[in-house]
Amino acid sequence: MPSPPRISGRFLKSLAALAKTRAGSAIVYRVTRADLRIDALPAVAPHLFGDIPLDNRPVGGRAPRDVESADLPLPAPPWSGTSATRTAAYAAGTTTPVAAVREAFAAARKLASLTPSLGPFLDLCESVALEEAAASSERWARGAPRGHLDGVPVAVKEQTAVAGLPARAGSDLTDATPAARDATCVARLRAAGAIVLGSTPMTEFGMTPLGFNPKRVMPRNPHATAHVAGGSSTGSGVAVATGVVPFALGGDGGGSIRIPSALCGVFGIKPTWGRISLYGDVLSGTVGHLGPLASSTLDLARCLEAVCGLDPDDDQTALAPPLREGSLTRALGRGVRGLRIGVEAGEWSATSTSIADAGQAALRALEREGAVLVDVRLELARHAAAIGYLAIGLEALATCWNWLSRGAVFNPDLAVSHAALSRATAIEAIQAQRLRAGLRRELAHTMRDVDLLALPATATTATRVTDGEFDGGFIDPQAIDAMCRFNFLGNLTGLPAMSVPVGLDAQSLPIGLQLLGDAWDEATVLAAGAHLERIGVASVPKPRSLANQA
């Protein structure tokens, strides 16, 4: 069947009503299967299927790369600064954590006052943040900070518990009771002295990568406000891109850290499955990871070092080998000499010219710095998104089942997705999991010969929207697939993957390069990203919206 045009407004509402009927849901699923290439999965060669997976343990090709640091200098800080520039100012006495936190709140309010809004926060914990900033200021005054993050303002995506704030996952259906306890990763940031400013808005249950949600005041793309900022970690991406915070926590089930990172022009990493505890994350499932979005690779490394580690409240963290103290920060100085980077030509041919050109230019720059580009072939890579849509979609459907059975009102685009997914068969679900196992096996085999796999972060830059589409929602399968096309590979395998900002297209919209590493080898991913940053190929652009504020 032909792909439908973008659907919004009253047509979207009518489609949502039709999809609630048995015949309507069948029609919607038939179209969706074609649009998202799910109908191609039954034709995949039998030898590419694996056994039904019994656990979510990441499958590595080999042990993490063990390379001595070349002691290269840290990349220069971006226009907005980093945690390091902030703590250096605290140490010098030129400012204090209290002043920095007050400035961050003021900047966030100014962004929220704009039309359209660029406000990156949903809920603030201002009084607690100022109390913690005062305690941090006192520690700096007596020369006894807790570490590299003491007094650094941060933001947290609303699917992750922050004590005193509700964790509602982008919906009005979830429990609005303020969390009694921080998520493990939030508690660990606080223990390191970081100051949590509040929660950032996301798309409803994280189920659109485009960054709109009629149930929230969502920020637009700060580089061009007629375009989306990406999702589902929308507010976190905008908070970093506008310089309000040097890093923010996000969540990634199918690219939801890497997509807003790419579209907003910042760095973002989804670490290996089990590396960060999911305790306190209100979205469960087998593909969802927590991780940071940041203005620099240094902040990605420092955040991961602070939040990773064994957690008795999440048994999946027992899978992760211990992370040596400071090892990720030290890896930033490795350089890329001898690094083998796999390039899958078929994947690069499925993206826009501007993204392919920027990505290839970045890879050639790494090659000039001593990296080795290796042609690789992945038969299942082109099917990863289709497998991923079934994996995350059916898990999300199960999560929402009680609300669905009571006739709860979801955003129209999500209501249509639920109706379509309800028509998926048991054999489709099981076969998708078998293909997931085959994909994990195939990628592990590939990673025996390369250290990284280079992919586009997205197939296009940020999608343009009208005010009506943004405020009321819309359905655009092609735009969704352009965002997720290359990201599910990391989620289905649990391997670490990062988006690196490597340029702008003709409309001055940011472009992301994705670097995917082997299991537990975040160090190599960060080392390559840091070298691109060091040589000036990767950089965080200052949004035009900020220049226009004067």
Sign of the C-alpha dihedral, residues 172, 27, 20, 422? Answer: negative
Q: Which among 10, 59, 42 has a CA at the least distance from the CA of 439?
A: 59
Q: Which among 147, 473, 172 has a CA at the least distance from the CA of 329?
A: 147
Catalytic option among 256, 422, 539, 545: 256
* 371, 537 contact by CB (below 8 A): no
SS3 of 18, please? helix
Q: Please name the residue that has the structure tokens 């009005």.
A: 172
SS3 of 123, please? strand
Catalytic option among 83, 136, 232, 417: 232
Angle of helix 97-112 relative to helix 83-92, nearest 10 degrees? 140
C-alpha to C-alpha distance for 465 and 244, rounded to whole angstroms: 25
451: left (phi over 0), alpha (psi -120 to 50) or beta: alpha
Q: Which among 208, 221, 267 has a CA at the least distance from the CA of 111?
A: 221
Beta-bridge partners for 400 = none
Q: Is 45 exposed, middle or buried (0-12, 13-18, 19+ CB in 10 A)?
A: exposed
C-alpha to C-alpha distance for 459 and 294, rounded to whole angstroms: 22
C-alpha to C-alpha distance for 236 and 292, rounded to whole angstroms: 9
Report the DSSP pairing between strands 452-456 and 474-475: unpaired
C-alpha to C-alpha distance for 130 and 123, rounded to whole angstroms: 15
Task: Tell me how crowded residue 79 is: count the other CB atoms within 10 A of its CB.
Answer: 12
- 539 classed as catalytic: no
- 256 classed as catalytic: yes
Report which DSSP code applies to 39: G
Q: Please name the residue that has the structure tokens 């249509």.
A: 416
Task: Tell me how crowded residue 375 is: count the other CB atoms within 10 A of its CB.
Answer: 9
Catalytic option among 25, 83, 136, 157: 157
C-alpha to C-alpha distance for 12 and 499, rounded to whole angstroms: 32
C-alpha to C-alpha distance for 201 and 215, rounded to whole angstroms: 10
Tokens in use for 372? 């080795």
What does residue 461 show for φ and ψ, rounded to 5 degrees?
-80, -170
- 157 classed as catalytic: yes
- Cα dist from 62 to 285, 447, 521, 537, whole Å: 26, 7, 10, 29
The amino acid that residue 234 corresponds to is T
SS3 content of the chain, % helix, strand, coil (to 5): 45, 15, 45
Q: Catalytic residue numbers? A: 157, 232, 256
